[in-house]
């Protein structure tokens, strides 16, 4: 009996990735992700703080402007209800109109009480609002004549 030899032809190049190459790519991606995570976390915290501060400011100014414009012949105000900053007409508890803006849970907001504005833009009470997070803090004041300042 004669043996017949099998000849394999290796003319075609094998395409694909080796196991080592895949592990190397996964390791590089893991290292980059670990290095970027703290920066991304700080970015999110800073962004949430900025959004909350700006939302408080714009809501106060909008309520003041609506009151001075006698919009809908209503009383306009701002209050904090749960985790929401509310612009309202009528009353905070049972508004005729309201716009609620969700405050980020990692941003603290203190000093914002139920405040209405009169036709001259004066608040029902002076406010000293503090917006703070782990990274930053800002103070928003509304004096008795309606001037709004940010520090």
Q: Domain total for the chain?
A: 1
Using CA atoms, how far residue 55 sits from 52, 72, 73, 80, in Å, is: 5, 23, 24, 12
Residue at 80 is within a domain: yes
Residue 115 domain boundaries = 19-150
Task: Tell me the mean pLDDT in the region 53-59.
Answer: 97
Mean pLDDT of the chain: 92
Residue at 65 is within a domain: yes
Q: What is the DSSP string of the chain?
A: --PPPP-----SPP-S--HHHHHHHHHHHHHHHHHHHHHHHHHHHHHHHHHHHHHHHHHHHHHHHHHHTTGGG--EEEEEETTEEEEEEE-SSSEEEEEEEEPPTTSEEES---EEE-TTS-BSS-EEEEEE-SS-EEEEEE-TT--EEE-
Per-residue pLDDT for 67 more than 70? yes
Residue at 11 is within a domain: no
Per-residue pLDDT for 79 more than 70? yes
Q: What is the CATH classification number for the domain harbouring 70? A: 3.55.40.10
Residue at 9 is within a domain: no
The pTM of this model reads: 0.78
Residue at 99 is within a domain: yes
Percent of the chain with pLDDT over 70: 91
Residue at 12 is within a domain: no
Percent of the chain with pLDDT over 90: 85
- The confidence band for 8, taking pLDDT boundaries of 50, 70 and 90, is low
| pLDDT for position 15 | 78
Residue at 82 is within a domain: yes
Residue at 6 is within a domain: no
More reliable by pLDDT, 151 or 13: 151
Using CA atoms, how far residue 33 sits from 21, 22, 25, 41, in Å, is: 18, 17, 12, 12
Of 6-20, 30-44, 90-104, which gets the smallest average pLDDT?
6-20
| pLDDT for position 103 | 94
| pLDDT for position 10 | 58
| pLDDT for position 63 | 97
């Amino acid at each position: 009996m004669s043996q017949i030899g099998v000849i394999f032809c290796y003319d075609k190049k094998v395409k694909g990735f080796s196991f080592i190459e895949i592990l190397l790519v996964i390791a590089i991606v893991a290292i980059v992700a670990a290095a970027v995570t703290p920066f991304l976390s700080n970015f999110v915290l800073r962004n949430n703080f900025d959004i909350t501060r700006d939302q408080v400011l714009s809501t106060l100014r909008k309520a003041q402007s609506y009151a001075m414009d006698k919009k809908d012949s209503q009383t306009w105000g701002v209050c904090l209800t749960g985790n929401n900053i509310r612009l309202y007409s009528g009353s905070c508890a049972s508004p005729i109109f309201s716009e609620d803006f969700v405050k980020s849970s990692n941003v603290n907001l203190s000093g914002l009480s139920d405040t209405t504005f009169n036709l001259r833009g004066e608040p029902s009470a002076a406010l000293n609002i503090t917006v703070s997070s782990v990274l930053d803090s800002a103070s928003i004041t509304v004096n008795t004549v309606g001037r709004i300042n940010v520090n």
